[in-house]
Chains A and B, each alone.
Chain A
Amino acid sequence: MRAFLDSLAVLSFLGTVLLLFAFSALLGMVRQLQSKLVQAQAAVPAAPAVRSVARFASDDGLPTFVLVVSEHCPNCRERSRRLADTAGPDRPWHAVVLGSADRCAEWVAGSQVVPVIDAALVGTVAVGATPSLVKYSPDGTEEWRRVVGSDEDLDAFLAVSPAERSNA
């Protein structure tokens, strides 16, 4: 472990490397490329094709948030529990956890979140990374999908304000 921690000094060396070695050429290139990178990032990737899942339609006019999770993913468990803590009858949306293993349902047991364990449906929804939050409008049409990297991001995507959370 000690040796490995030492090897991390290699990384801090990388900064020195840029200075020591081919200083002017490389640094000039870095600046040029960085400016181009900013431009490249301004080009937003195309939105995925609109998809529709009849099962996530609702008859009360409220949208449905579907948290797509995978079984062996600690973050998926944490985000599911956060969703379970957040969901309630007074929220203007429905909440679903979608996974392919039964233990995913246990993460939201006893809450207002409906577990849907359906491997085929997980394949159909086909998110890249887990956990991802997908919002479906009342007619079951997908509005957007986002990878959820933290509890704070989940709150933001659900539009739950910190004040609401502390009152809950």
Chain B
Amino acid sequence: MQVRAPNGQTLTVDGNPQPFIGGWAYLIWAHGPTGGIRFQVTPAGSAELVSKQLGDWSRFTVREAQWNGGRLMSLEDPESGTNMVWVGPHHEVATFINGTAVPFETFMDILAKFDVQDTPEGLTMLPRAGSGLTLGNLLAVNTIDQVCNVQVKPVADSSEAIPRSSGKRVRGGAMWRVDERDESGAVKTRSVFVVNETAATTVVAANPDDSRFINVVESLSCSLS
């Protein structure tokens, strides 16, 4: 399976014994001279459905308009701030802005600095020339239902996290196991870290002793190009 990440890279994932439950969700930062902005890129409609699922929707003051062939939504939480979302035909891009009564224009000014292209393969948002912005800290996230959560980063962003010891050879690269234990010594969270030439992947088990998790770790391969 190949998808397009917001920074234009191609994310190639294969070898997963069970399918992923949905589209990929991405976190990405745009860094510029005045600081950085975090964006979430997800399948269209996610922000609305998630906040309804989590019970946040009723707290929001919802505003909506139409812009550039998609919907602009402002989900204002009076206690924390405003989630701004542009919902395109296939994917949506969201960011969080501190404060309330944030005008849509603030978000439109931010998005206008990017060339946003939404296709079935993915939403790309490359900074326009002259914007002074660069994209960084990409994180792609997906889930295999009841088995594990998969998080992929460019290997260059993870160099500090790679252990010095040599990892176990698996199909997706070199693999290290990371167990978090509680006071009694029982494994609370089990994850593995898989590194290859392009990607550093963390796979977090839903259940530490699930053999399906082991199968995923042995066969999953993720790369960014």
Contacts and interface: CB of A to CB of B under 8 A. Distances in A.
Contacts, number: 141
A84 to B, nearest CB: 19
A150 interface: yes
A36 interface: yes
Interface residues of B, number: 54
Interface stretch (A17-25, A95-103, A106-114, A158-166): A17-25
A12 B158 CA distance: 22
A17 B66 contact: no
Contact of A20 (B61, B145, B160, B202): B202
Interface residues of A, number: 47
A70 B69 CA distance: 11
Can you list the 7 inter-chain pairs with the closest CB atoms, starting with the nearest? Answer: A7-B22, A149-B63, A36-B35, A129-B67, A147-B104, A33-B36, A40-B34
Given A30-B38, A37-B97, A43-B34, 11 more contacts: A6-B143, A7-B142, A11-B42, A11-B46, A14-B25, A17-B141, A17-B151, A41-B98, A147-B108, A148-B65, A149-B72
26 contacts: A4-B22, A5-B53, A6-B143, A6-B145, A8-B53, A13-B143, A14-B141, A20-B202, A22-B158, A26-B137, A33-B29, A33-B35, A37-B97, A39-B34, A40-B34, A40-B35, A41-B99, A45-B105, A129-B65, A129-B66, A147-B65, A147-B103, A147-B105, A149-B72, A149-B104, A150-B61
